[in-house]
Amino acid sequence: MAAKKRLTTRSLLACVVLGAGSAVFVWLAIVLNALMSASLPWAAYPAPTPMFFGAIAAVLLIRKPGVAALTALITALIGFGTMALIAGLCVELAAFLGKKLLRPDGGMFTSAALTWAAFGGGMGGLGLSLGIFMVSTARDALPLHLLLLGMALKILLGIAYGVATFYIARISFRSGVNPQGLPVNA
């Protein structure tokens, strides 16, 4: 019997809650952007906040295709942050590329899922780091080595955010947050 591809109402509501939670980080990035553009312009546009954590958590908790993109869309709509959508689409691409790491065969939160969370976070950081090339005139004023340093910083922070999201999602799952009704042998 093939696994159902449809999302349940609980999983859709989980995407909305995770998207709204991530929108807080979009608002924080907007405030930090104003401060960082004067002092650290190579790290701004947008500020490196974990605005894509909801997309990673949705993939880890729900394990269905499209949940990262849906959560990122909700984050972008609530937080008025297009970069959150781009970062979430990069996380969705990571979920597609890392399907085999996300299989709950040996449990939901294994070392393979931790590896995917780090990869997904790095992809989210890459999506954020592309922002300076799309939405800022700083790309013309800053030297290339500072732009690359800002990209590396956002990717490394994205990996750290992905690992932190893995542990938060694992704690949430073990405490009863199970939006897809998956077996609890994690």
Identify the structural domains of the chain with CATH numbers, from first to last. 9-174 (1.10.1760)
Q: What's the one-letter identity of residue 52?
A: F
Task: Please tell me whether the overall predicted TM-score, pTM, comes out greater than 0.85 for this model.
Answer: yes
Question: Three-state SS string across 93-116, please?
Answer: HHHHHCHHHHCCCCCCCCHHHHHH
pLDDT tens-place string over residues 10-33 = 888 889 999 999 999 888 888 888
pLDDT tens-place string over residues 46-104 = 878 888 999 999 999 888 889 999 999 999 999 887 888 999 999 999 999 988 888 76
Distance of alpha carbon 17 from alpha carbon 35, whole angstroms: 28
